[in-house]
Structure 1
Amino acid sequence: MHTETSEGVLRVTFDRPEVKNAFTTDLAAELASTIESADPETHDAILLTGEGDAFSAGGDIQSMAAREEDVRDAYERVEGTFGRLAEAAMDSRVPIVARVNGDAVGAGLAVVALSDFAYAVPDATFSCAFVRVGLVPDTGGSFLLPRLVGLREAKRLAFTAEFVDASEAADLGLVNEAVPAEELDEAVDALLDTLRERPTRTIGVIRQALHDNLGREWGDALDHENLLQSQAYDTDEHAEGVSAFLEGREPAFQS
């Protein structure tokens, strides 16, 4: 995995093209650590993409074949790697953008689902492939898929592991849009430009509100929303936004 920060964007490239950027547990933990390191004071966005013709083929099957572990050991491994990755992505205070340059399968699909935005080339295909190797969707997949695509479609994807193309993935809500390959960078860069203009700290709180309230009942969700909003009123971002509006100018947010 290769990382670099450029113009406020923490760019992460999965760089195992010879195995279609399959995830090992070490890579999952490294990606979790990288996302955890993102700071709204420094970063406007996290960009995830793959090298070569795939985003990620999911879990590395060769690594799976070499494992010898009992259920307790497996739980500790999954919790500390793919589980940690899902938690890091959900808890991040920096927005995550997936530049889906090719197929996203298994955990690769889950990483796309964890992202706030996803743009995919038309020939990218998507599969919740866990069942093909006798596994349950992980990396947050069992939680997020029903919320993104609905319960029936989540069951179809998870039970059959069938592949859907980028156009259908957009219709389902897995990605924002299928974009011609020659226009992918332009679409992603336009989004990144917008995110740079927005207050990243405030986006982080919005993410917190949306994610925290996924599992709450209405009353609890409203209480949590009220708390976060009252805290947002007491921020430099709010003061700058109000001043800019009253002065008829674009806001100059510091985060």
Structure 2
Amino acid sequence: MHVDNDDGVLRITFDRPDVMNAFSTETAAEFADTVASADPDDHHAVVLTGEGDAFSAGGDIQAMAERREGPQEAYERIGETFGRVVEEMFECPVPIVAKVNGDAVGAGLAIVALSDFAYADEEATFSCAFVRVGLVPDTGGTFLLPQLVGLRTAKRLAFTGEFVSAETAAELDLINEAVATADLDERVAETVDRLRRRPTETIGLMKQAMHENLGRHWSEALDYENLMQVQAYMSDSHEEGVEAFLEGRKPDFD
């Protein structure tokens, strides 16, 4: 993968086009480390995309065939690589935008699901393909996919490994929108520009509260929500937003 860090946007491009940007364990660990470097003081957004014709084909099947390890080794490897991807994406205080330039399969689909926004080329297809190689969905697939598309649809996608179109993915709420190829860059740029005008610190608190509250009892969720709101009340972003409103001007959250 290669990384660009310009104009307050951390751009990560999966760069193994010869294998449809499949993830080795090393790539997964590097990706997690890079997402962890996103900082609301320096970045307005993280943008993910793939080099060539695919977003990501998921785990590297060739590497799976060559791997020799016991259950404990496998458990530790998964937790330290794809498990860390979930952890860092879930806890990233900067909004993550997936620019799905081509097919997203297996862990590639899970990374799209973990992103805060996802726009896909209308020609892209999606598959929760783990079952095709006798695996359970990982990279958060078993708990996040049902949250996005509903339990029955998640079971259908996971149990069959079927491919769905970008249009269907949008209808299922797996992505925000299917976009014509020529318009994909502009659509992502519009979202990034909109995020640039919002207080990143506050968005990070929103994201933290939403993710922490998944599955919580409503009373615990409300208490955590109040805790995040107190942090927001004390922030410079809140002070600037109030002053701008009272002065009749647009806020400058930078």
- Using structure 1 for the length normalisation, give the TM-score: 0.99
C-alpha distance in structure 2 between counterparts of 1:4 and 1:153, whole Å: 36
The alpha carbon displacement at 1:215 in A equals 2.1
Spell out the pairing of 1:53-72 with structure 2 (5 A cutoff).
53-72=53-72
Q: Which residue of 2 aligns with 1:88?
A: 88
C-alpha distance in structure 2 between counterparts of 1:19 and 1:187, whole Å: 27
C-alpha distance in structure 2 between counterparts of 1:197 and 1:231, whole Å: 20
Q: Which residue of 1 aligns with 2:246?
A: 246
- Using structure 2 for the length normalisation, give the TM-score: 0.99
Q: Which residue of 2 aligns with 1:206?
A: 206
Q: Deviations over 1:49-74 (max 9, x none)?
A: 00101000010000000111111000
C-alpha distance in structure 2 between counterparts of 1:215 and 1:90, whole Å: 15
Compute the RMSD of aligned alpha carbons: 0.5
Give the number of equivalent residue pairs. Answer: 254
Q: Deviations over 1:132-166 (max 9, x none)?
A: 11101000111110000000000000000000000
**Aligned: 1:135 with 2:135:** yes
Q: Which residue of 2 aligns with 1:19?
A: 19
Q: Percent identity?
A: 67
Q: Deviations over 1:153-207 (max 9, x none)?
A: 0000000000000000000011000000000011000000001111111110000
C-alpha distance in structure 1 between counterparts of 2:190 and 2:231, whole Å: 30
Spell out the pairing of 1:185-224 with structure 2 (5 A cutoff).
185-224=185-224
Secondary structure of the residue aligned to 2:99 is strand
- Of 244-253 and 147-156, more deviation after overlay is shown by 244-253
- What is the letter of the counterpart of residue 124 of structure 2? A
Specify every segment of 5 or more residues in structure 2 that has no aligned partner in the other structure, as ranges.
none
Secondary structure of the residue aligned to 1:232 is helix
Q: Which residue of 1 aligns with 2:146?
A: 146
C-alpha distance in structure 2 between counterparts of 1:56 and 1:120, whole Å: 12
C-alpha distance in structure 2 between counterparts of 1:213 and 1:16, whole Å: 36
Q: Which residue of 1 aligns with 2:230?
A: 230
**Aligned: 1:52 with 2:52:** yes
